[in-house]
Structure 1
Amino acid sequence: MKLYEGLKVVEFTTNIAGPTVGQWLAEYGAEVIHIERPVIGDDSRAYPPLVNGISIKYCTLNHGKKSVILDLKDPDGNKIARELCKDADIVLESTRPGVMDRLGLGYEAMHELNPRLIYCSVSAWGQTGPYAHRPGYDLIAQGASSIMYYNGDEETGPVKIFTEIGDQCGGLAGFAAVNAALYYRERTGLGQHVDISLVRVLASMSVKLDDLRILHKKTEKQGNQGSPLLCPYGVFKCPDGNWIIIAASNNALAFQFFRVIGREDLISDPRFETNVKRVEHQKILAPIMYEWFDKMGTIDNIEKALLEGGVPCSRVYSYEDVDKDPHYHEAGWFTDIPMPEEMTDLKARRIVSSPFGFSEMSPEYIPTKGFGAWNHEIIGELGYTPEQIDELQEKWKQAMAKN
Structure 2
Amino acid sequence: MQHALQGLKVLDFSTLLPGPFATLYLADMGAEVTHVESPTRPDLIRLFPPYAHGQATAHLYLNRNKQSVALDLKDPQNIATIKEKISQYDIVVEQFRPGVMQRLGLDYATLAEINPRLIYCSITGYGQTGSYKDKAGHDINYLALSGIAGHSGRTQSGPPPLGIQVADIAGGSLHAVIGILTAVIERHQSGKGQYIDISMTDCAVALNSMAAAAALAGNITQEPESGILNGASFYDYYETQDGRYLSIGSLEPQFMSGLAQLLELPLLLEKGTSLLAEDRVELKHALQEKIKTRSLLEWQQLFSAQDVCVEPVLTLDEALHSDLAQQRHWVAHVPLHEHSTETQAQLTCPIKFSRSAMRYDFIGQALGTGTW
User: Is TM > 0.5 for Structure 1 vs Structure 2?
Assistant: yes
Conservation of the 8 A alpha-carbon contact between 2:175 and 2:203: yes
Write the letter of the residue equivalent to 1:286.
K
In the alignment, does 2:357 pair up with 1:362? yes
Conservation of the 8 A alpha-carbon contact between 2:320 and 2:330: no
Partner SS, residue 361 of structure 2: coil
Give the superposition deviation at 1:365.
Answer: 1.8
**Aligned counterpart for 1:232 among listed residues 221, 231, 234:** 234
Conservation of the 8 A alpha-carbon contact between 2:175 and 2:198: yes
TM-score (norm 2): 0.87
Partners of 1:360 and 1:146 lie apart in 2 by 40
Give the superposition deviation at 1:95.
Answer: 0.8
Would the alpha carbon gap of residues 111 and 265 (structure 1) be closer, same or farther in structure 2, given more than 3 Å must change?
A: same
Match of 1:371 in 2: 367
Within 5 Å, which residues of 2 pair with 1:147-186?
A: 147-169=148-170, 170-186=172-188
Partner SS, residue 372 of structure 1: coil
Conservation of the 8 A alpha-carbon contact between 1:235 and 1:244: yes
Would the alpha carbon gap of residues 115 and 335 (structure 1) be closer, same or farther in structure 2, given more than 3 Å must change?
A: same
Conservation of the 8 A alpha-carbon contact between 2:55 and 2:366: no
Deviations 1:218-275 (Å, cap 9, x if unpaired)? 633229x9735873311111222111111123344333333332244653x4x54xx3
Aligned pair count reads 367
Would the alpha carbon gap of residues 94 and 301 (structure 1) be closer, same or farther in structure 2, given more than 3 Å must change?
A: same
Deviations 1:180-219 (Å, cap 9, x if unpaired)? 2111112222211222222222221136235368887663
Partners of 2:180 and 2:223 lie apart in 1 by 37
In the alignment, does 2:218 pair up with 1:221? no
Instruction: Structure 1: state its 5+ residue gaps.
Output: 379-403
Deviations 1:8-65 (Å, cap 9, x if unpaired)? 1111111111011211222232221111112223222212123454222111111221
Please say which structure displays the higher CA radius of gyration. Answer: 1
Partners of 1:350 and 1:287 lie apart in 2 by 42
Partners of 1:42 and 1:237 lie apart in 2 by 40
Would the alpha carbon gap of residues 150 and 339 (structure 1) be closer, same or farther in structure 2, given more than 3 Å must change?
A: farther
In the alignment, does 2:341 pair up with 1:338? no
Would the alpha carbon gap of residues 279 and 173 (structure 1) be closer, same or farther in structure 2, given more than 3 Å must change?
A: farther
In the alignment, does 2:299 pair up with 1:302? yes
**Aligned counterpart for 1:315 among listed residues 304, 312, 316:** 312
Partner SS, residue 254 of structure 1: helix
In the alignment, does 2:10 pair up with 1:9? yes
Deviations 1:77-117 (Å, cap 9, x if unpaired)? 11112222233101111111121122222222222322211
- Alpha carbon RMSD of aligned pairs, Å? 2.9
Match of 1:393 in 2: none
Instruction: Structure 2: state its 5+ residue gaps.
Output: none
Conservation of the 8 A alpha-carbon contact between 1:260 and 1:309: no
Give the superposition deviation at 1:67.
Answer: 1.6
TM-score (norm 1): 0.81
Would the alpha carbon gap of residues 62 and 214 (structure 1) be closer, same or farther in structure 2, given more than 3 Å must change?
A: closer
In the alignment, does 2:101 pair up with 1:103? no
Write the letter of the residue equivalent to 1:200.
D
Would the alpha carbon gap of residues 215 and 122 (structure 1) be closer, same or farther in structure 2, given more than 3 Å must change?
A: closer
Match of 2:119 in 1: 118
Match of 2:199 in 1: 197
